Amino acid sequence: MSTLLTVVNIVVLLAIIIGLYAMQKKHISFSKRVFVGLGVGILFGLVLQYIYGTKSDVLKATIDWYNIVGKGYVKLLQMIVMPLVFISIVSAFTKMKLTNNIGKISTLIIGLLVGTTAVAAAIGIASTLAFNLDGAQFQQGEAETARIGQVEQRLGDIQSMTLPQKVLELLPANPFLDLTGDRPTSTIAVVIFAAFIGIAYLGVRKKNPEQAELFSKIVDTFHAVIMRVVTIILRLTPYGVLAIMTRVAATSDYNAIWQLGKFVVASYVALAIMFIIHLLLLAFAGLNPITYVKKAFPVLTFAFTSRTSAGALPLNVKTQTQDLGVPEGIANFAGSFGLSIGQNGCAGTYPAMLAVMVAPLAGIDPLSPSFILTLIAVVALSSFGVAGVGGGATFAALLVLSTMNLPIAIVGLLISVEPLIDMGRTALNVSGSMTAGVLTSKATKELDTNTFNDTKSQSVTV
């Protein structure tokens, strides 16, 4: 009987997928299809949980099959991340406009990413104090105990490393190993390796223009092929989002989420305030923030539902260049750097909130100015090397808490609300990198304001 019910559940999911495919055939916009997948996934997941319950063998078997679509989609995104980051950075160096002021552009982008992360940390601290969140109030169940064990195992060598040693971990001793994503800091290592290749290209271009031209054409060819692969994967987004949200809705412990509701609300308040700061920065630069929201909305929706900053990179760069008027070189830099440096949500707001929550447990006054200033500085520095695909926030939190000598168990106690908060964090990460690209272009006077202000341009169609 249980096998029959599992088959029925699989058939229902396939029917919904066929419906989404029919919407694509009717040329319904990408963002609308993603939203439909999101909404239907949540409703379908709630129905499954209501019928079977979270402990049901039928539900477990059903989700196991659904993971072929959901987790399979995420694996495909992970597959393309490292090649995409590498070729995007190298391609940025081969763009003529970028080579003339590459130092200034890199400094501006990294400064904006790290600076906004420090601001996000301050906002996270303020939100935690305003909501009077206390880490001692959270309960530990079986799932939380298992997660704490995993967290402590992952902490491993990190806790015993000094800050200089953590900085050294960012460097690519073996770039081919980092291209596999083997280390938590692999993304930033690939960025550094690609930057070295790009700098070498600039040197070759001065001494041997013919070889440089050949290399540039090869890079452009690889970039075109990889972007085509990305497009193929992105077309699967509505189906992947459908399966992922069905799993989340069907297996979530809503009682636990209710108990942690105040933390969820405080997190989204902090994320919302930081997003408003992004808009204020654009307004101070003389750009219309409402225009930015309209054009960035499809990308932020994708980031919200997929929970992967890296997966959003192609749409991120495409929107910056075709809708917001950012030169391709700057867009590639901002998008790629944003995957591993200064993620406002995962590396800024989240670790700062956890640190304030557990500070009293370590006998530290969270209102102490010295503690707050130290925490903001540590968060900003630790934001280098945060992975752009699932788990980056956990790694950032471990880095910050271990550096501040604070208890790390809080990371495991939030397992039940992690997916819910991670959606907002990821969207804020992507907004941060896009904002950095637009503001850098504006500062270097390379922003095409006509394209930015053109309300009819909307390129995100997959």
Evaluate whether residue 78 is within a structural domain: yes
Q: Say how many domains are in the chain.
A: 1
The span from the CA of 342 to the CA of 44, in Å, is: 36
To the nearest 10 degrees (0 to 180), the angle between helices 392-403 and 369-382 is: 140
Tokens of 308: 């992967």
Note the pLDDT of residue 164. 74
Widest pairwise Cα distance in the chain: 74
- Cα separation, 223 vs 208, in Å, equals 23
Is residue 79 included in any domain, yes or no? yes
Asked whether residue 459 is assigned to any structural domain, the reply reads no
The pTM assigned to this predicted structure is 0.81
Torsion of CA 319, 325, 329, 333, to 10 degrees: -60
**Is 461 part of any domain?**
no
| Angle value at C-alpha 390, between 389 and 393, nearest 5 degrees | 105
Residue 389 pairs in a beta bridge with 308
Q: Is residue 410 part of a domain?
A: yes
- Output phi, psi for 179, to 5 deg: -65, -15
* Regions of the chain short of the pLDDT cut 70: 96-100, 135-163, 166, 184, 256, 259, 385-392, 412-413, 415-416, 456-462
Structural domain including 403 reads 2-453
448: domain CATH number? 1.10.3860.10
Q: Collapsing DSSP states into helix, strand and coil, what is residue 326? A: coil
Q: Which residues contact 96 (CB under 8 A, 6 or more apart)?
A: none
* Residue 422, in any domain of the structure: yes
Tokens of 286: 């003389």
> What per-residue confidence (pLDDT) applies to 278?
96
pLDDT in the model for residue 16: 94
Q: What is the pLDDT of residue 101?
A: 74
Q: Which two tokens stand for residue 202?
A: 């600039």
Question: What tokens appear for 91 in the block?
Answer: 């391609």
How many whole angstroms separate alpha carbon 16 and alpha carbon 19? 5
Per-residue pLDDT at 239: 93
* Domain-located, residue 145: yes
